[in-house]
Amino acid sequence: MPQPDTGADHGIRVTKETLIGLRRQARALNLPLSRPAASLLTGRHLSRFRGRGMDYQESRHYQPGDDIRNMDWRVTARAGAPHSKLFQEERERPVVLLMELGPSMFFGTRGVFKSVQAARVAALLGWAAVADGNRVGALLFNGEHRELSPTGGRRGMLRLIRALIAHTDPAHGLSNAAPAIGLSAALERLRRVTRPGSLVFLVSDFFSIDAETARHLRYLRRHNDLVALHITDPLELAPPPAGRYGVSDGRATSILDTHSRQVSSHYADYLARHHAQVEELARQARVPLLRLSTAADPLRVLRAGLHGGVGAVTDLESVA
């Protein structure tokens, strides 16, 4: 597997000091929690962000003018008289990070590994969320998975940082004996545990998408606000110079010989199809898509992507 062109271990794995240090940078990042999505996020995204959620408080006798959608049918049947549900506005909104960390995420040829870039993005989003008084949670998948229920403040962030360090460590992610959990399985689990009204960031390179992925995204999109972050490496955008390259998925090894025009053509066609599939997936599910290179500055990409542009995809590979 090619190594990042950094000559330093920080390009391969993250440290607690690095992720804690992103707290100051995150002050410049405002998450789009309550304003119209079309004005803040790239993509044809017509609904508004749901903003603060509502907590069920109690049920009481129906009164003229109550919204029929808030009828408590169970209490009505039990009491023999119509009852309505009362709700109390939440003071915070859950922000949930879905980190899909398959073997292809432990790769990088320029800047850092994709897994490291994903961890930096997650830390920035987490610090921005807790700075706004919101809770942050995560689901991390790398052959096994870990779930962190949304928690606020420094305690929630330090718990997230510990999980990011563990799950983006190549020694753990690449040597895990369990088979990789695909993106659809991760999204299905997310559907079960994420509270409606959450703001969800999906961080992945999307190499494990399948026929079910769009369905899960559409379901999540009906009940939450989603933003997809497509992590890429420059080598995934164009074939490398002619040569023989050793490659590995962490288990098997092979040789990529780009002296061959046929090999280079197949390589370019495969990657073009992959990027087109990811873009079509986001379009079908009506999920804003930001593309982030391993060689880019994640803070600048997030600021530019969350607060500008009007395309179906924000391609910010050049933002470094």
Half-sphere exposure (Cβ direction) of 73: Cα atoms closer than 13 Å: 2
Tell me if 4 is assigned to some domain: no
Same structural domain for residues 64 and 140? no
The tokens 């915070």 sit on which residue? Answer: 92
Whether residue 82 is contained in a domain is answered as yes
What would you measure as the largest C-alpha separation in the chain, in angstroms?
A: 79
| 80, 25: one domain | no
In this predicted structure, what is the pLDDT of residue 62? 86
Contacts of 119 (CB under 8 A, 6+ apart): 14, 19, 164, 165, 168
Specify the 3-state DSSP secondary structure of 149. Answer: strand
Is residue 92 over pLDDT 80? no
**Same domain, residue pair 97 and 78:** no
Residue 180 placed within a domain = yes
Are 310 and 275 in a shared domain?
A: yes
State the CATH number of the domain containing residue 287. 3.40.50.410
Q: Distance (Å, rounded) from C-alpha 149 to C-alpha 147?
A: 6
User: Are 45 and 193 found together in one domain?
Assistant: yes
As for how many domains the chain has, the answer is 2
Percent with pLDDT over 70 in the chain? 80
Statement to judge: residues 166 and 229 lie in one domain: yes
Residue 258: the pLDDT is 84
pTM: 0.77
* The two three-digit tokens of residue 313, written as one number: 């995809």
Length of the chain counted residue by residue: 320
Give the residue numbers spanning the domain of 72. Answer: 56-89
Number of H-type helices and E-type strands within the chain: 10, 11
Strands 253-257, 244-248: pairing kind:
antiparallel
The neighbouring-strand residues paired with 56 are 87
What pLDDT sits at residue 40? 38
- Tens-place pLDDT, residues 215-261: 999 999 988 999 999 999 998 888 888 888 887 766 788 888 888 88
Type and span of the H or E element at 102: none
Query: CA 98, CA 82: separation in Å to the nearest integer?
Result: 41
**189 and 60 inside one domain:** no
Residue 6 has pLDDT above 50, yes or no: no
Q: What angle do CA 119, 150, 57 make, to 5 degrees?
A: 160
